[in-house]
Amino acid sequence: MRAVNSPRSCAAPGSVPISARAAVLARMLDYLELTKPRIAVFALVTVAVGYTLGASGNWQLAGLSHAMVGIALVAAGCSALNQFIERSSDARMRRTSNRPLPCGRLLPAEGLFFGLATGILGTMYLVIWVNTLTAVLAVVTFVFYAAVYTPLKRVTSFCTVIGAIPGALPPVLGWTAGGGQLDAAAFTLFAILFLWQFPHFLAIAWLYRNEYHQAGLQMLPSSRPSARVIGLISMVYALALIPVSLLPMQLTLAGNNYLFGALILGAGYLACSVRFAVAESVRTARELLWSSLIYLPTLLLVLTWDYLQLLH
């Protein structure tokens, strides 16, 4: 049975006409899709955690709200420019071919303007309503993600390391927005997210390795990686994450509750990485991916809760 073309599909000319209201809504949804909302929400959770820790008991809803708005705008700009730059490769991958730019639902110029406008607006918002340090870090995130990491995906698998830098900065942005400085605690938040990303992303890259290869993206050490190599790399990073995740205790950001939580979560993440290394398969890769999505928010929740307990 053939499906009726919708306004948000890669439809050929002659699609069923839609009302003006539906067309406006579809266009708004396309712009929303440029922001990669699920990734943005995930990043903003880490921003909120960083703000709570950085505020040192001086937590303010207005301060957090301003930080979230500015950082969300910058994140939207990063994602939009990423999709603008990768529109041709996105068109060659099944999982991304229905995005607004490769489909032609939005013009490349619209994606470029939206990305630059939201990025600049977000930076200005942070300067005015938050602080200059957070705005500078937001610019660093923007430049590394859109201008360095994204183009490097066609050149070298080292792009994963570069991409992990802006990926690990959101909690630091929250930390500085809350009044914290670039100290050991800020670096610890950065390091936890930096290491966490590798098993998470390598599981995704392994699952979609054929599509990435077809699109000309160098997301793995080779287009046809040797058996267990990706799993072993994931395992090394998951192992290194365990001692790093315990650093908040040394910095009086957490107590014994966090210690137990971090050890249990780290052991689970490592176990899934080991399973993936021993037997690379769609099942073990998905298990590792899901474990990563459980590990990080749970760890940050336990860290925040334990920190608040210490304050009282």
The pLDDT > 70 percentage for the chain reads: 93
Q: Interior CA angle at 164 toward 189 and 233, to 5°? A: 100
Question: Of 196, 188, 204, 221, nearest to 285 (Cα)?
Answer: 204
Q: Interior CA angle at 138 toward 133 and 143, to 5°? A: 130
The tens digit of pLDDT for each residue in 157-197 reads: 889 999 999 999 999 999 999 999 999 999 999 999 999 99
Query: How far apart, in whole angstroms, are the C-alpha atoms of residue 32 and residue 104?
Result: 15
Query: How far apart, in whole angstroms, are the C-alpha atoms of residue 27 and residue 282?
Result: 35
- pLDDT reported for residue 11: 55
pLDDT band at residue 16 under the 50/70/90 scheme:
low
The tens digit of pLDDT for each residue in 208-239 reads: 998 998 888 887 765 566 667 899 999 999 99
What is the residue whose two structure tokens read 């670039």?
A: 182
The answer to whether the beta carbons of residues 260 and 249 sit under 8 Å apart is no
DSSP secondary structure letter of residue 144: I
Residue 31 CA to its chain's centroid (Å): 18
Query: How far apart, in whole angstroms, are the C-alpha atoms of residue 208 and residue 214?
Result: 10
Across the chain, which distance is largest between two alpha carbons, in Å?
65
The tens digit of pLDDT for each residue in 60-111 reads: 999 999 999 999 999 999 999 999 999 999 999 998 999 999 999 999 999 9
DSSP secondary structure letter of residue 11: P
- pLDDT reported for residue 222: 57
Position with higher pLDDT, 7 vs 302:
302
E-state strands within 62-214? none
Question: Cβ neighbours of residue 97 under 8 Å, at least 6 residues apart?
Answer: 10, 90, 91, 103
- Give pTM, 2 decimals: 0.92
The answer to whether the beta carbons of residues 169 and 194 sit under 8 Å apart is no
- pLDDT reported for residue 165: 97
Query: How far apart, in whole angstroms, are the C-alpha atoms of residue 220 and residue 168?
Result: 20
Question: Which stretch of DSSP H or E encloses residue 208?
Answer: none
Question: Of 20, 30, 124, 109, nearest to 71 (Cα)?
Answer: 124
User: What is the CATH number that goes with domain 23-181?
Assistant: 1.10.357.140
Neighbours of 97 (CB within 10 A): 14
- pLDDT reported for residue 312: 78
Residue type at 26? A
The answer to whether the beta carbons of residues 8 and 29 sit under 8 Å apart is yes
The answer to whether the beta carbons of residues 32 and 24 sit under 8 Å apart is no
* Cα end-to-end distance, the chain, whole Å: 62
